[in-house]
């Protein structure tokens, strides 16, 4: 199977006053196309930082990341933006919807950026799929947390990414809404073969993925492949 993500000897340091704070150290792993993968670990162990680096949202200090067959450090800003728009989806813990756009526009804009002539129609279909067809003209401030997360999901799905990074996708949701969101993510994996990389503190959610990477203090403590019967 082809590797969609290949991380080698990653090191990330933040400046903290006079000191350097190493938040990721000697992190290496890879993910195969179509896999479902979770990253777990205590708060502050570097999960969100790792996800952001893998998705090309932040720069690393040492090591290399190959995403969708491309070495990220070789790309300039424009090339990176293009890769993200065409092949990568990201779901943030705090949703990060654009507050001045309606639910429909939040989903259709990335499609329009891709030059998709059916952007509005496809965005509407996606909103219906996540159960928000009747809320298309609402602004994020008029939606509940669960509804905003479902808009964020529709936006992340809209460009049919090869790989979807999700940072605590159920973190701010009640149990029932969280389960719906998880179902949608795994449906996407099954229907379109989208690789899922999920950061979570929820071990029940992690158990649903084929592989679990455990981080502690910025280091990998285990990388376990589950045998799924
Ligand atoms: P997790 O997602 O596992 O909770 P994070 O990746 O958010 O961990 O953070 C790892 C460590 O890096 C924490 O100690 C956090 O305080 C620190 N950190 C994260 N982002 C920054 C930043 N922009 N500047 C300085 N320190 C940061």
What is the 3 state secondary structure string of 38-90? EEECCCCCCHHHHHHHHCCCCCCCEEEEEECCEEHHHCCHHHHHHHHHHHEEE
What is the ipTM score, two decimals?
0.97
* Angle at the Cα of 107 from the Cα atoms of 161 and 123, rounded to 5 degrees: 90
Mean pLDDT of the chain: 92
- Per-residue pLDDT band for 220 (boundaries 50, 70, 90) equals very high
Q: Which atom of ligand 1 is nearest to the CA of 43?
A: 4
Give me the residue label for tokens 């203090």.
Answer: 217
Instruction: For residues 137 and 104, give the distance between their C-alpha atoms in angstroms, rounded to a whole number.
Output: 6
**Mean per-residue pLDDT, 56-78:** 94
Q: Is the CB of 59 under 6 A from ligand 1?
A: no
pLDDT of res. 78 = 93
**Mean per-residue pLDDT, 73-79:** 93
pLDDT of res. 229 = 46
**Could you give the percent of the chain with pLDDT greater than 70?**
98
* Interaxial angle between packed helices 119-129 and 145-158, expressed in degrees from 0 to 180 and rounded to the nearest 10: 130
Q: Which atom of ligand 1 is nearest to the CA of 42?
A: 3
CA-based radius of gyration for the chain: 17
Q: Which atom of ligand 1 is nearest to the CA of 52?
A: 6
The Å distance, Cα 44 to ligand 1 centre, comes to 6
Residues in the chain: 229
Q: Is the CB of 58 under 6 A from ligand 1?
A: no
**Mean per-residue pLDDT, 180-187:** 90
Q: Is the CB of 149 under 6 A from ligand 1?
A: no
Fold of 3-225: Rossmann fold (3.40.50)
């Amino acid at each position: 199977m082809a590797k969609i993500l290949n991380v080698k000897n990653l090191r990330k340091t933040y400046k903290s006053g006079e000191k350097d704070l190493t938040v990721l150290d000697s992190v290496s792993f890879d993910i195969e196309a179509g896999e479902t993968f979770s990253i777990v670990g205590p708060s502050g162990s570097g999960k969100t930082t790792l996800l952001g680096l893998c998705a090309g949202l932040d720069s690393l200090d040492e090591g290399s990341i190959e995403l969708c067959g491309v070495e990220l450090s070789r790309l300039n800003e424009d090339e990176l933006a293009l890769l993200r728009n065409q092949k990568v989806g990201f779901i943030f813990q705090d949703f990060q919807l654009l507050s001045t756009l309606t639910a429909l526009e939040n989903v259709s804009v990335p499609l329009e950026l891709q030059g998709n002539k059916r952007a509005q129609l496809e965005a509407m279909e996606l909103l219906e799929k996540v159960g928000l067809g009747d809320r298309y003209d609402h602004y994020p401030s008029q939606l509940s947390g669960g509804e905003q997360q479902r808009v964020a999901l529709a936006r992340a799905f809209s460009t049919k990414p090869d790989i979807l990074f999700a940072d605590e996708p159920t973190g701010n949701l009640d149990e029932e809404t969280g389960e719906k969101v998880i179902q949608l993510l795994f449906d996407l994996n099954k229907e379109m073969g989208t690789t899922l990389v999920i950061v979570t503190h929820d071990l029940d959610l992690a158990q649903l993925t084929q592989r679990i990477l455990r981080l502690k203090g910025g280091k990998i403590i285990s990388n376990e492949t589950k045998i799924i019967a």
